[in-house]
Homo-oligomer: A and B are copies of this chain.
Amino acid sequence: MENIASYIREHKSRFIDELIDLLRIPSVSADSAYSQDVWNTAKKVEEKLKEAGCDVTEICETPGYPVVYAEKIIDPELPTVLVYGHYDVQPADPIELWNSDPFEPIIKKTELHPEGAIFARGACDDKGQMYMHVKAVEYMIKNNNLPCNVKFMIEGEEEVGSANLGWFIERNHDKLKNDVILISDTGMISKETPSITTGLRGLSYVEVEVTGPNRDLHSGLYGGAVANPINILNKMIASLHDENNHITIPGFYDKVEELSTEERAAMAEAPFSLDNYKSALNIKDVHGEKGYTTNERNSIRPTLDVNGIWGGYIGEGAKTVIPSKAFAKISMRLVPDQDWQEITTLFKKHFESIAPDCVTVKVTPHHGGQAYVTPIDSIGYQAASKAYEATFGKTPIPQRSGGSIPIVALFEKELESKTILMGFGLDSDAIHSPNEHFGIWNYLKGIETIPHFYKYFTELYK
Contacts and interface: CB of A to CB of B under 8 A. Distances in A.
Interface of A: 29-32, 90-91, 93-94, 97, 159-161, 187, 201, 203, 205, 212-228, 230-235, 237-239, 241, 281-289, 294-295, 297-298, 301-324, 326-329, 331, 333, 356-360, 366-367, 401-404, 427, 430-435
A218 B89 CA distance: 13
Given A307-B320, A320-B432, A234 B234 contact: yes
Given A218-B433, A318-B205, A433-B218, A223 B303 contact: yes
Ordered nearest first, which 8 A-B pairs have the shortest CB separation? A220-B403, A30-B317, A238-B238, A224-B303, A227-B287, A308-B312, A287-B358, A214-B282
Of the candidates A201, A237, A432, the one having the most CB atoms from chain B within 10 angstroms of its own CB is: A432
B313 A228 contact: no
Nearest to A33: B316
A225 B431 CA distance: 17
Contacts of A230: 305-309, 328
Contacts of A234: 233-234, 237-238, 306, 309
Nearest to A306: B230
B220 A333 contact: yes
Counting every copy of the chain, the complex holds 2
Contacts of A356: 285, 287
A253 to B, nearest CB: 13
A305 B322 contact: yes
Nearest to A427: B221
B316 A31 contact: yes
A286 B223 contact: no
30 contacts: A91-B315, A160-B318, A212-B283, A213-B281, A215-B281, A215-B435, A216-B433, A216-B434, A217-B432, A217-B433, A219-B331, A219-B432, A221-B298, A225-B286, A225-B294, A225-B295, A226-B281, A227-B286, A230-B308, A230-B309, A230-B328, A234-B306, A283-B358, A283-B359, A286-B358, A287-B356, A287-B358, A317-B366, A320-B404, A321-B432
B298 A213 contact: no
Contacts of A214: 281-283
Contacts of A324: 97
Contact of A298 (B224, B227, B333, B403): B224
A295 B40 CA distance: 60
A323 B281 CA distance: 12
Contacts of A317: 29-31, 91, 160, 366
Contacts of A295: 225
A238 B231 CA distance: 7
Contacts of A402: 220-225
Contacts of A284: 357-358, 360
B315 A31 contact: yes
A213 B308 CA distance: 16
A282 B214 CA distance: 6
A400 to B, nearest CB: 11
A12 to B, nearest CB: 28
Contacts of A94: 216, 323
A210 to B, nearest CB: 11
Contacts of A30: 315-319
Contacts of A31: 315-317
